[in-house]
Amino acid sequence: MNGRLQFFVACAVIFNDDGKILLTKRNNPSNPEVHNKWQLPGGSVDNAEHPLDAAIREVKEETSLTIEILSNRPFVFSHTFNDRTHVVLIVYKTKYISGEVDISRDLEETNEAKWFSPSEIYDLQTLPETNEIIATVTASTD
Protein backbone atom coordinates (compact mmCIF):
# COMPACT_ATOMS: atom_id res chain seq x y z
CA MET A 1 0.00 0.00 0.00
CA ASN A 2 2.92 2.34 -0.57
CA GLY A 3 3.66 3.03 3.10
CA ARG A 4 0.16 3.98 4.14
CA LEU A 5 -2.43 2.32 6.32
CA GLN A 6 -6.03 1.79 5.31
CA PHE A 7 -8.97 1.35 7.66
CA PHE A 8 -12.64 0.65 7.16
CA VAL A 9 -14.67 2.55 9.76
CA ALA A 10 -18.39 2.09 10.39
CA CYS A 11 -20.13 5.00 12.03
CA ALA A 12 -23.61 6.30 12.73
CA VAL A 13 -25.42 9.57 12.34
CA ILE A 14 -27.75 9.14 15.32
CA PHE A 15 -30.88 11.27 15.44
CA ASN A 16 -32.84 11.65 18.68
CA ASP A 17 -36.55 12.52 18.92
CA ASP A 18 -35.67 16.24 18.87
CA GLY A 19 -33.74 15.93 15.60
CA LYS A 20 -30.38 16.37 17.32
CA ILE A 21 -27.30 14.37 16.34
CA LEU A 22 -24.89 12.73 18.77
CA LEU A 23 -21.18 13.51 18.36
CA THR A 24 -18.23 12.30 20.40
CA LYS A 25 -15.01 14.19 21.02
CA ARG A 26 -11.88 12.27 20.03
CA ASN A 27 -9.22 11.63 22.68
CA ASN A 28 -5.90 11.05 20.94
CA PRO A 29 -3.21 13.43 22.32
CA SER A 30 -0.49 11.77 20.22
CA ASN A 31 -2.24 12.89 17.01
CA PRO A 32 -3.06 16.62 16.99
CA GLU A 33 -4.82 16.27 13.64
CA VAL A 34 -7.69 14.40 15.36
CA HIS A 35 -7.32 15.12 19.10
CA ASN A 36 -10.26 16.99 20.68
CA LYS A 37 -12.16 17.06 17.38
CA TRP A 38 -15.83 16.14 17.27
CA GLN A 39 -16.74 13.04 15.29
CA LEU A 40 -19.53 10.59 14.64
CA PRO A 41 -19.61 7.57 16.96
CA GLY A 42 -18.06 4.56 15.29
CA GLY A 43 -14.91 2.59 14.78
CA SER A 44 -13.03 -0.03 12.85
CA VAL A 45 -14.86 -2.88 11.20
CA ASP A 46 -13.49 -6.17 12.54
CA ASN A 47 -12.39 -8.94 10.19
CA ALA A 48 -15.44 -10.71 8.71
CA GLU A 49 -17.82 -8.28 10.49
CA HIS A 50 -20.60 -6.62 8.54
CA PRO A 51 -20.23 -2.81 8.70
CA LEU A 52 -23.84 -2.46 9.87
CA ASP A 53 -23.09 -4.70 12.86
CA ALA A 54 -19.86 -2.79 13.50
CA ALA A 55 -21.73 0.54 13.62
CA ILE A 56 -24.22 -0.81 16.18
CA ARG A 57 -21.43 -2.39 18.24
CA GLU A 58 -19.19 0.67 18.20
CA VAL A 59 -22.03 3.02 19.21
CA LYS A 60 -22.86 0.73 22.13
CA GLU A 61 -19.18 0.48 23.18
CA GLU A 62 -18.52 4.22 22.92
CA THR A 63 -21.78 5.69 24.21
CA SER A 64 -23.83 2.86 25.82
CA LEU A 65 -26.74 3.73 23.52
CA THR A 66 -28.97 1.36 21.60
CA ILE A 67 -29.72 2.52 18.07
CA GLU A 68 -31.83 1.41 15.14
CA ILE A 69 -30.50 1.46 11.59
CA LEU A 70 -32.93 3.42 9.39
CA SER A 71 -31.54 2.21 6.06
CA ASN A 72 -29.39 -0.80 5.23
CA ARG A 73 -27.84 1.25 2.43
CA PRO A 74 -24.83 3.10 3.84
CA PHE A 75 -23.20 6.31 2.72
CA VAL A 76 -19.52 5.93 1.86
CA PHE A 77 -16.87 8.62 2.29
CA SER A 78 -13.09 8.56 2.09
CA HIS A 79 -10.33 10.64 3.66
CA THR A 80 -6.54 10.46 3.68
CA PHE A 81 -4.90 12.08 6.69
CA ASN A 82 -1.56 13.93 6.69
CA ASP A 83 0.25 10.79 7.90
CA ARG A 84 -1.10 9.01 4.77
CA THR A 85 -3.60 6.93 6.76
CA HIS A 86 -6.55 6.28 4.47
CA VAL A 87 -9.97 5.85 6.09
CA VAL A 88 -13.04 4.58 4.27
CA LEU A 89 -16.08 5.69 6.26
CA ILE A 90 -19.20 3.53 6.01
CA VAL A 91 -21.97 5.66 7.48
CA TYR A 92 -25.46 4.62 8.54
CA LYS A 93 -28.45 6.84 9.21
CA THR A 94 -29.81 5.75 12.59
CA LYS A 95 -32.13 6.75 15.37
CA TYR A 96 -31.71 6.65 19.12
CA ILE A 97 -33.75 3.89 20.77
CA SER A 98 -32.68 3.73 24.42
CA GLY A 99 -30.00 4.29 27.03
CA GLU A 100 -28.23 7.21 28.62
CA VAL A 101 -25.07 8.60 27.05
CA ASP A 102 -22.17 7.12 29.02
CA ILE A 103 -18.60 7.30 27.68
CA SER A 104 -16.93 5.84 30.78
CA ARG A 105 -16.11 2.56 29.00
CA ASP A 106 -14.32 4.41 26.17
CA LEU A 107 -12.28 7.13 27.89
CA GLU A 108 -9.11 6.06 26.08
CA GLU A 109 -10.64 7.25 22.80
CA THR A 110 -13.50 9.57 23.83
CA ASN A 111 -13.38 12.79 25.89
CA GLU A 112 -17.03 13.80 25.65
CA ALA A 113 -20.34 13.06 23.94
CA LYS A 114 -23.10 15.56 23.29
CA TRP A 115 -26.28 16.02 21.26
CA PHE A 116 -26.19 18.91 18.75
CA SER A 117 -28.69 20.40 16.35
CA PRO A 118 -27.40 20.04 12.77
CA SER A 119 -26.82 23.81 12.54
CA GLU A 120 -24.65 23.81 15.69
CA ILE A 121 -22.28 21.22 14.24
CA TYR A 122 -20.95 23.50 11.52
CA ASP A 123 -19.35 25.77 14.16
CA LEU A 124 -17.47 22.90 15.84
CA GLN A 125 -13.97 21.63 15.21
CA THR A 126 -14.76 18.28 13.61
CA LEU A 127 -12.87 15.49 11.95
CA PRO A 128 -12.59 15.79 8.17
CA GLU A 129 -15.71 14.81 6.24
CA THR A 130 -17.99 15.15 9.32
CA ASN A 131 -19.89 18.20 8.07
CA GLU A 132 -20.27 16.74 4.57
CA ILE A 133 -21.48 13.43 6.02
CA ILE A 134 -24.07 15.10 8.23
CA ALA A 135 -25.31 17.33 5.40
CA THR A 136 -25.63 14.34 3.07
CA VAL A 137 -27.35 12.07 5.59
CA THR A 138 -29.66 14.83 6.84
CA ALA A 139 -30.77 15.61 3.29
CA SER A 140 -31.39 11.96 2.37
CA THR A 141 -34.89 10.57 2.23
CA ASP A 142 -33.77 7.03 3.10
Name residues whose C-beta falls within 8 Å of residue 63's C-beta, 6 or more positions apart in sequence.
22, 24, 41, 99, 101, 102, 103, 106, 113
Q: What is the spatial distance between Cα 128 and Cα 1, in angstroms, rounded to a whole number?
A: 22
Among the options 68, 100, 108, 109, which is catalytic? 109
108 is an active site residue: no
Residues with catalytic annotation? 109
